[in-house]
Structure 1
C-alpha cells in the first residue's frame, strides 16, 4: 500500500515500514561506529524496548556489546491495508539486523504491567539465556491495570497547586501561543499517575525475576527519568509526572536491597529532553526542545536517543574503572550537556523573545518536526512515499 503521514493532534496515526527500518539502521550504524572496547552487558532484558530510549538501549547493548537481548513491549502488528505501529516496525527491523549480525534477539508483545507477560518473559530467559545481567526499565504508558488489584489507573499531566500558564507551540504550524493548564482536583490524580509511572512495576519486575533465579550475579538495572529546566518544572518536575518520577527514584533503595545478595545494583538515569512520542504531547516541551536543539546543534553537542544511550552505557554504566558517576541524589546524569549553564542561558534568552513570527529563525522547529515524523518513518529524503510498500512486516521471533 501507499502510506502517507496522517496526524491527529500530537500523534502520527500512520507509520512507514521502510522509514522506521532506516531509523533503526541509522542508530545501529552510529553505535557500530563508536567501536566500543570496554566490557559491558552480555544478556539484556529491555522492558519497553520498541521506541525511544528503550529501543536505543537495546540497539546499544546488541551492536555495541554483542549482547543477547530480549525486548518486551505492547505494539500493534500490521494488518492488510493497515500499517502496524512504529514500535512494531522498529522491532522487526532491529531483529532482522540483529539476526543478520549473528546476535540473539527475541521479543514479547503484551502488557508489561501484567503478571502473565512477566511469567512469559521469565520462561523465555530460562529457556534461552539462563540469566540476564542487565535489566532496562523504559516503559511509557498512559494507563496501567494493576496486576494485584485489577484496578485500572490513568495518569494525568497536571500542575499541583496553581494553574500553569506559559508559551507552547503547535509544531505542525509553528504557531506560538500561551496555554493554561489547570491543577489537579484531588490527591487521587497524583496517586493514579504514580501508580502508572512510578517505581512499583519496576520493583515487581525485579522481584519476579529474582525469585525465578534469572538474574545474574552483579546484575544491573536502570530506569529512565527527566528533570529539565526551571521553566518546565511546574508542569513536569513539580507536577503529577514529577511525583511519579520521584517515586521511581525512591524505589532504588528497595531494589538495591532485593539485589543485595547478588551484589546487584539499580540506578535511575536522568536523560536529555528529546523528541519522543511521549514528550510531543506535553505542553511547553516541544517549544523548549525546539530552542534547545538550536542552541545545542550550534555548539556541536546535540544528542538524540542513540547518542544518549551509547554515552550512558560507555561512560556511566560500564566504565573502565567500574565506578558509576552519580550526582548528590545518587542518580546517573546524561542530561549534563543540556543543563550546562551556557546552554540554559541561551535557551532562556530565546524563550523570552520567541513568537510565531520569529520561531523559524531562532529555533530548530523544522528539526523538531522532521525528527517527530521520522519516529514514524516519514521525512526521509531518500524514501519515495508515493511508491507502494509492503505493510505486512513481521517480527521474526513473534509468530
Structure 2
C-alpha cells in the first residue's frame, strides 16, 4: 500500500515503517558517535562512565522513553526491556510509530550484542506487571534503572477496575491564548474551558505518580531491583506563558503528584541503597505535546530562539546529557531545591525566555507566525511518525508489516 501521512487535529493517524526505522537509526548513530569520541563538554564520552547495564523502560517506544533505551544500549551497552501499548500492523493498516520504532531499535540492539525485548500491553495492569517480572528474571535477572515515561489518555485502576480519563484543561476559569496548528502558520485564538473537579482528579489518577509507585512497589516485592538501582520519571514545567493550560492546569496537578511520589519512593528505595528522581525535561515535539493547545506556538518560537543560540536539543540529546553529565557522571547527582533533575536548564535560561516572550508579543491573530520555526516543529512531528525524510520515496508501495 502507499502510506501517506494523515493528520487530524494535530494527531497523526499513520506511520511509515521505513521512515520510523530511519528515525531510530539516526538517533542511534548520534549516540554511538558521541559515546565513542565526543569533543563536546555537554555530551561527554561514555566509555569511562558506569552507565546502567540492565534497564527497564516503561513507555520506551517513542519520545523520551525511546531515547532512554537508545542511550542506555548504545552509550552504555545495556540490555533493555520496554513496556508499551502498541497497535501492530495489518495488511492494509499501519502500526503505531512506537511498534515500528521498537522493531527497528531491537534489531539494531541485538546486532550490537545487547539483549532487547518488549512486553506489549496495558502497562497499568497487574497482568502486564507480572509478565514483565517474568521477562526480567529470564533475560536480565534484576534491573539497575527503571525509567517511567508513560503517556496515556486513560488508565484502568488494577485494584478497582475503574477507568479514568485525562484531560488537557485549565482549572478555575477558561484560558484563552494564541496558538497555531502544525499544518498552518496562521496564528489563531484558542479558548479552553476549565476542568471539573472530577476531571482534575481523573487526570491525576492517569498521569500522576500512582502507577509509578505501583511499579516500584511491585519490583521491590519481587526482588527485581538491583542494589543501588535508580528510578526516574519524566516531567515538564515550562514557561509562564503556558502555565494556565499546563503547570497550573490538570496536567500540572498530575505532574505535582508525580513529583511528590518521588520523595516517597526515595524512602522506600533506601532499603537497597536506591534513588528516585523526577527529571524535568525540555519542551519537545512528541505525540503527546503536539495536541496541547498553545504549546505548538510556544515550541515554534522556542525552537527558533534556541537554534539561533546553538542550544536546541532533540529527545536523545537530552537523555544523553541527563545520563552522562548528571545521573551517571560519577559526581554527586545535582537537583534543584525540590529534588528534581533539571534538563530543561537551557530552555529556562532567562535570556532564552525573555526572547521567546518578545516574539510572543509580535504574534497577531489571523496573521502568519513571526520569527518562529514552525517548519522545524512540523518536520520533527512528521519524522517521529516516519515521514518528512527527503530521501525516502513515499510514493513507493510498502507492506505495512515490513520491519
2:328 to 314, 318, 321: 318
Is 1:18 equivalent to 2:8 in the alignment? no
SS of alignment partner, residue 358 of structure 2: helix
Kept in 2, the 8 Å contact 1:56–1:306? The answer is: yes
1:55 to 37, 46, 66: 66
* Distance apart, 1:260 and its partner CA: 1.2
Is 1:160 equivalent to 2:171 in the alignment? yes
Is 1:352 equivalent to 2:361 in the alignment? yes
What CA distance in whole angstroms lies between the structure 2 residues aligned with 1:377 and 1:21? 7
Ranges of 4+ aligned residues in structure 1 off by more than 6 Å: none
Kept in 2, the 8 Å contact 1:354–1:362? The answer is: no
Kept in 2, the 8 Å contact 1:92–1:393? The answer is: no
Give the match for residue 397 of structure 1.
Answer: none
Give the match for residue 3 of structure 1.
Answer: 3
Is 1:374 equivalent to 2:374 in the alignment? no
* Distance apart, 1:393 and its partner CA: 3.3
* Distance apart, 1:101 and its partner CA: 0.9
Give the match for residue 344 of structure 2.
Answer: 335
Q: Calculate the TM-score normalised by the size of structure 2.
A: 0.96
Kept in 1, the 8 Å contact 2:186–2:368? The answer is: no
* Distance apart, 1:267 and its partner CA: 0.1
CA RMSD of aligned residues (A): 0.9
* Distance apart, 1:2 and its partner CA: 1.5
SS of alignment partner, residue 324 of structure 1: coil
* Distance apart, 1:358 and its partner CA: 4.1
1:143 to 150, 154, 166: 154
Give the match for residue 224 of structure 2.
Answer: 214
What CA distance in whole angstroms lies between the structure 2 residues aligned with 1:258 and 1:203? 10
Change (3 A) 1:296 1:51: same
Give the match for residue 274 of structure 2.
Answer: 264
What CA distance in whole angstroms lies between the structure 2 residues aligned with 1:62 and 1:393? 24
SS of alignment partner, residue 79 of structure 1: coil
Give the match for residue 44 of structure 1.
Answer: 55
Is 1:123 equivalent to 2:134 in the alignment? yes
Is 1:79 equivalent to 2:117 in the alignment? no
Give the match for residue 195 of structure 1.
Answer: 205
Give the match for residue 105 of structure 2.
Answer: 94
- Count of aligned pairs between the two proteins: 391
Give the match for residue 33 of structure 2.
Answer: 33
Kept in 1, the 8 Å contact 2:57–2:82? The answer is: yes
Bigger mean CA offset, 28-37 vs 275-284: 28-37
* Distance apart, 1:364 and its partner CA: 0.3
What CA distance in whole angstroms lies between the structure 1 residues aligned with 2:127 and 2:110? 27
SS of alignment partner, residue 179 of structure 1: strand
Kept in 2, the 8 Å contact 1:259–1:265? The answer is: yes
What CA distance in whole angstroms lies between the structure 1 residues aligned with 2:152 and 2:241? 24
Give the match for residue 365 of structure 1.
Answer: 374
